[in-house]
Structure 1
Amino acid sequence: MTAIFDSLRNRNFSHDHLRIIKSVDKYDHIFSDWLRIIFQWIFYSVLCQLVDIFGIISNIINIICFVKQGFHDTVNISLL
């Protein structure tokens, strides 16, 4: 990561660009890559499970509503 910033420092940038590069380089090692991967894995696995459970529950509610309305309408049959 620092090799990228070193190569960018050698180019002719304005002072604003160099300030941004230095601020990014200063916070380069807050979390290790391994810790970031673990956080992403936990976050995505929990988020995906919550979305899946919400989808299953909402589909069950929709099925119950369409069954209670009856099958007289062709729209209810196609949506079920």
Structure 2
Amino acid sequence: MESITIYPKNEKQKSLLKSLLEELKVRFEVAEIENPLLSEEDFYAKIDKSIAQSEAGKTKTLSKEKQKELLGL
């Protein structure tokens, strides 16, 4: 069976979804997640940080064998 992950925007949405799932007798669990999505500003900041690390030579090189192992090929 597949599972569905839902990220309600506020407490009202969360409460409504919980009520609906309970009414439908759907098994579910609630887990706290700090912030599942990056803001656009954080996203670009992360990219900029990675570019700066690359320009500073802080990169790792993986052998072909290690690449295949990590990718499951």
| TM-score calculated relative to the size of structure 1 | 0.33
Structure showing the higher helix proportion among its residues: 1
| TM-score calculated relative to the size of structure 2 | 0.36
Higher normalized contact order (CA 8 Å, seq sep 6+, divided by chain length): 1
The structure whose Rg is larger is 1
